[in-house]
Amino acid sequence: MVKAKDKNIKKGKVKRKGSIILLWVMFVLGIISFAALVLSIENGSVGYMPSLAELENPQNAVSSEVLASDGTLIGRYYVTDRSNSKYDEISPNIVNALLATEDARFYDHAGIDPVATIAIPFYLLLHKKRGSSTITQQLAKNLFPRRSASWWMLPILKLKEWVLAVKLERNLTKQEIITLYLNTVPFGDNVYGIKNASLTFYSESPDSVSIDEAAVLIGMLKGNSIFNPRTHPKRAHDRRNIVLDQMRKYNYINDGQLAELKAKETPLNYHKIDFHDGLAPYFRQIVEQYVKRACKSLKKPDGTNYNIYKDGLKIYTTIDMKMQRYAEEAMAEHLTSLQKQFMAQRGYNNGSIWKHNSNAKKILSSSIKSSVRYKTLRYDEKKSEKETMKELSKPVEMRIFAWNKDRYIDTMMSPIDSIKYMKLFLQSGFMAMDPFTGEVKAWVGGIDHNFFMYDHVNINTKRQVGSTIKPLLYSFAIDNGFSPCGIVSTDPQEFPDLEEPYDAGGSDEGDIPMKTALAKSINNAALYILKQVGIDPFIDFAKKCGIKSRLDPYPSVALGVSDISLFEMLGAYSMFPNGGMHTDPFFLSKIEDKNGMPIKSFAAKQKELINKNTAFKMVKMMEGVVNAGTGGRLRYRYGIYNDAAGKTGTTNDQADAWFIGYTPQILAGAWVGCDDRTFRFRSERLGQGAAAALPIWAYFMKRLYADKNSGIDPKMKFEAPEGFEDCEVDQNLFFDYTKVLKKAPAEDLDEKVKYVYPDDEE
């Protein structure tokens, strides 16, 4: 029995020894397998593993930025709204809040926090949720997000994040990891990166963020939707306080600071730059189109084309932020009152124009049938024409444009009535440029980009220019021997192929000096000059002035019947203040990649078109326009007594109103009219260029002159070229506008007018 017992004991010992050996073997094999798995993950055998180059330069889609001439951000183009910052561009307040909240032992670990990792099972047993991922692990997840996978793959994916974290720690500095993290993390409102977040929620660059603002921003990382301070201010406030407590716990702030910060509010200064909002929306739209075209010929180092929405381009423009703001304000100031005058006309104020004017009826019908609502009802829902029109006549809730503080009103209106309402708004375009460098300084394409996206400055937007074409004709004539003091006829003019003399008006003026003809904008005088210089030679000259639009070879070309863009006209006028040198307007200065390396630059194109003497003669003649001619109200009504010159323009039936003017430093032009030319001022007194367009120019210049830091000197004078002598230096033929200020014609003063125009009937 003893021997059997000993045998069993011996057998048990052997079994235990075998089990221990097996355990050791399994342990060693486990370690080897784990090591092999880690090695396989690292070399990419178990799914994709980014290279070191990719880790150092992650290819996240980065929004491209549009910058004003002073470097101010005015817009972004993006798929994902993300911008990058350097470490020294991020406030220590942000970094401290991040470390205190997300990874207090960040500087003590190599990517994986052993303390937090070991503590995971204990928190699970206690049914407590606690994040154990380090900032580096979170960065790995942000750079290379997990794809959807089965539950049994989650440990592998977690292990992969650990490997990535260690690789990041091995190849990047701690500052680089923090910077990468803050540049890739998502905040609220589809904003990525600390730079965009600080600009969006506080209108501050990330280096200027205060402690409490940093706490709000970092607090959002816990849940960028539920802790969004714009949509959930109470939750964001409470979360901010938790972050502040963490900052005190880890000694980033003291007790006094904590109490003070918790007692205060952290007001938002929210400004998310989007497609419509902010300064220069029409300009941003044209820049987007231009850069998209340019990207087709711009290659990245890898041979692929740049993408404006993903490659983080820095697009530097020539726009002057002050001038842009003043231009937008000037347009709003004038159009607010002008629209009231426009709508006071009978037919517009009672809506009868839609019943009695055949063109208006056609416009309304076409607009209804091209609307989304009509197409949905008619073609998607298969309703009859009668049913569709009945549905479109029912009032619904909608937001429409209005000249008020918000630029909109919420109201009940039928879709058909909304079309009528919106069609009757006067539109406008305004552009300002430096005539010497060609730099576009302000670009206002319309009255409100939210409701009217059509850009009226764009080179592809063309309207009849009226008498603003005349300075080109006059300068061509003077450069070919005409004198500003020479006498021109105002009789109707005979032209080949015309059965009778062409009478465009002004024959009662008789024979007058050329400069007086321009000041008063006498049409027959322009026809007389055109006949002397020739139609085809003048058109060739206009083309050299940068007019790319079609100019038909008929006598009426001298009267501005051609459709030309405001952009082209400003370029053509640049030769007057620039001593005869034509300068093409341009609005981009350079494009850089996301690392600040230049990939394309831009410069002005210049050429001499007329000599300096001719240019200065035109300056003096166009001064006559504003001193005593059609642009006289610039002086006596708007009080601009500084050196200025320009030309008004009005087309048939006041469908288009123009004014282009310049000072010794700046050139600017304005157009006003309805998109549909059927709708117009019936009164020339109200619809002429001097009344409808010139005031925008005047309000713009008054703002520039009032701003001592605008760079525009009100005391600067037009300077004659050396040796210049001509009759127009003697201004005896012109009124002294300072003497007629108190004798301004009553019909040109702002008065309340009762409109008694009959309804149009065609």
Residue where a domain stops, chosen among 247, 279, 311: 279
Q: Ranked by mean pLDDT, which of 22-26, 177-181, 715-719 comes out on top? A: 715-719
Q: What residues contact 260, with CB distance under 8 A and at least 6 apart?
A: none
Check whether residue 432 and residue 368 sit in a common domain.
no
- The pLDDT mean for the chain works out to 85
User: Does residue 413 fall inside a structural domain?
Assistant: yes
Predicted model pTM: 0.80
Q: Are residues 495 and 638 in the same domain?
A: yes
Beta-sheet strand order (sheet of 598-601): 73-77, 64-67, 314-317, 588-592, 598-601
Q: pLDDT at residue 729 above 50?
A: no
Residue 23 lies in a domain: no
pLDDT at 674 over 90: yes
* % of residues, the chain, pLDDT over 70: 81
What is the rounded (10 degree) CA torsion for 633, 636, 640, 641?
120
Q: Distance (Å, rounded) from C-alpha 282 to C-alpha 659? A: 20
In a domain, 327, yes or no: no
* Same-domain status, 579 and 656: yes
Q: Report pLDDT for 711.
A: 93
Residue 224 and residue 99 in one domain: yes
Q: How far apart are CA 451 and CA 421, in angstroms?
A: 12
* pLDDT at residue 476, rounded to an integer: 97
* Dist CA 180 CA 377 (whole Å): 50
What's the number of domains the chain is made of?
3
Q: Is residue 662 part of a domain?
A: yes
Q: Is 20 helix (H, G, I), strand (E, B) or coil?
A: helix
489: its two tokens:
């006829």
- Better-predicted residue by pLDDT, 273 or 454: 454
CA distance to 264, 538, 667, 680, per residue, from 635 (Å): 53, 32, 17, 26
What does the pLDDT average to over 481-499? 92
Domain membership flag for residue 29: no
Residues 385 and 504 in one domain: no
Claim to verify: residue 257 and residue 380 sit in the same structural domain: no
Same-domain status, 390 and 521: no
- C-alpha 426/C-alpha 677 separation (Å) is 10
> Do 436 and 552 reside in the same domain of the chain?
yes
Asked if residue 36 belongs to a domain, the reply is no
What is the pLDDT averaged over residues 234-254?
A: 95
Model confidence at 758: pLDDT above 50? no
In a domain, 266, yes or no: yes
Domain boundary among 377, 400, 423: 423
- For residues 495 and 629, membership in a common domain is answered with yes
Separation between Cα atoms, residue 578 and residue 608, nearest integer Å? 10
User: Are residues 135 and 173 both part of a single domain?
Assistant: yes
Identify the domain boundary among 279, 297, 328.
279
Query: How far apart (Å, rounded) are the C-alpha atoms in residues 179 and 183?
Result: 6
User: What is the predicted pLDDT for the residue at 17?
Assistant: 66
Q: Sorting pLDDT into bands at 50, 70 and 90, what band is 56?
A: low
- Give residue 391's domain range: 349-423
What are the b/e assignments for 509-530, b being 16+ CB within 10 Å? beebbbbbbbbbbbbbbbbbbb
Average pLDDT over residues 1-26: 61
Whether 409 contacts 399, CB under 8 Å: yes
**Predicted local distance difference test score (pLDDT) of residue 155:** 57
Give yes or no: residues 529 and 568 share one domain: yes
Q: Residues 549-563: what's their mean pLDDT?
A: 96
Q: Which two tokens stand for residue 85?
A: 């910052």
Q: Say which range, 120-129, 323-332, 495-504, 539-548, has the weakest mean pLDDT.
A: 120-129
**Range from 428-437, 504-513, 626-635 that averages highest in pLDDT:** 428-437
Which one-letter amino acid corresponds to residue 367?
A: S
Residue 609 has pLDDT above 90, yes or no: yes
With 50 as the cut, is the pLDDT of residue 731 above it? no
Strands 598-601 and 606-608: unpaired
Q: Are residues 381 and 265 in the same domain?
A: no
pLDDT per residue as tens digits for the range 78-133:
877 777 888 999 999 999 999 999 888 888 886 676 655 554 444 444 444 445 58
CA-atom Rg of the chain in angstroms: 36
Across 728-753, average pLDDT:
40
CATH number at residue 537: 3.40.710.10
Does 4 fall in a domain?
A: no
The conformation of residue 84, written as its DSSP 8-state character, comes to -
Token pair for residue 172?
């990047």
CATH code of residue 155: 1.10.3810.10
